[in-house]
C-alpha cells in the first residue's frame, strides 16, 4: 500500500475516464473496508471527464460507510464538481486558489433521425439527473440549478461555499468556514478547535 493510502488519502488528478474511475473506486472501497470509522480524504484537481465514470465514483462516495472529505485544489470543473459536492457535508473543502466550475453535460448525436432522437433523450436524462444531484447537495432549487448550469459557471472558493458546493476553505493556518456557512449545510466539524496550526490540517482526525 502506498504512503498516501496509509494516510487514507485518495488523489484524483487526471481527467475522469473508466480507468481513473476504477482506480479511485478500488481505493475508496479498500479504505472503507479497513476502517469505516475513519475519514477518507479525497483530493481533487480535475477538469472533469466521462459522465458515466464520474457517476460511478459519486455513487461509491455515497455508498461507503466512512465519511469522505473532499478537498479541491487547482480546479474542480465539470463532472469533478459533482464529486467535490458529493462529499460528506461539513467536510467539503477547497484550497484558497481553487476554481470550481459547473455546467450542463456535453454531447452530440449523428445518424438516422431515430438514433438522434434516442441520443437526445439520453442527453436530457443526464442533464436532469445532474440538476437533481446538484440541487440535492447544495440545497438550491431545481429551477435555480437548471438556470445556473445552462452555461459554464466558474466560482471562487468563497462563491462555492455560498452556493453550497463546499463548506470551507483551507489556508496555511486553519480551516476557514467563511461564516456564515449556509444554513442548508450542517457542519460536522468544530472549526474553532481546528485553529491550532497548519500541521494539524493533515492529521487523520481532520478532513
Residues labelled catalytic: 103
Yes or no: say if 42 and 74 are a contact pair by the CB < 8 Å rule.
Answer: no
Task: Map 182-200 to HEC letters.
Answer: CCCCCCCCCHHHHCCCHHH
Helix (H, G, I), strand (E, B) or coil at 202: helix
Q: How far is CA 169 from CA 20, 81, 159, 188, in A?
A: 26, 15, 11, 15
| Terminal-residue alpha carbon distance, the chain | 21
Distances (CA, A) of 28 to 63, 188, 199: 10, 21, 24
Amino acid at each position: 500500500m502506498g504512503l498516501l493510502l496509509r494516510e487514507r488519502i485518495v488523489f484524483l488528478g487526471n481527467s475522469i475516464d473508466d480507468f481513473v474511475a476504477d482506480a479511485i473506486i478500488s481505493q475508496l472501497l479498500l479504505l472503507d473496508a479497513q476502517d469505516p470509522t475513519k475519514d477518507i480524504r479525497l483530493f481533487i484537481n480535475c477538469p472533469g471527464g466521462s459522465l458515466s465514470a464520474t457517476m460511478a465514483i459519486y455513487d461509491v462516495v455515497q455508498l461507503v460507510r466512512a465519511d469522505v472529505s473532499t478537498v479541491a485544489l487547482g480546479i474542480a470543473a465539470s463532472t469533478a464538481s459533482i464529486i467535490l459536492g458529493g462529499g460528506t457535508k461539513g467536510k467539503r473543502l477547497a484550497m484558497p486558489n481553487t476554481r470550481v466550475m459547473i455546467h450542463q453535460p456535453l454531447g452530440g448525436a449523428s445518424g438516422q433521425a431515430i438514433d438522434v432522437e434516442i441520443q437526445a433523450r439520453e442527453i436530457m436524462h443526464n442533464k436532469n439527473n445532474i440538476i437533481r444531484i446538484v440541487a440535492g447537495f447544495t440545497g438550491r432549487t431545481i429551477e435555480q440549478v437548471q438556470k445556473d448550469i445552462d452555461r459554464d459557471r466558474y466560482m471562487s472558493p468563497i462563491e462555492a461555499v455560498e452556493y453550497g458546493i463546499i463548506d470551507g476553505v483551507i489556508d496555511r493556518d486553519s480551516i476557514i468556514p467563511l461564516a456564515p456557512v449556509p444554513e442548508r449545510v450542517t457542519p460536522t466539524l468544530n472549526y474553532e478547535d481546528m485553529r491550532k496550526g497548519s500541521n494539524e490540517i493533515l492529521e487523520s482526525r481532520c478532513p
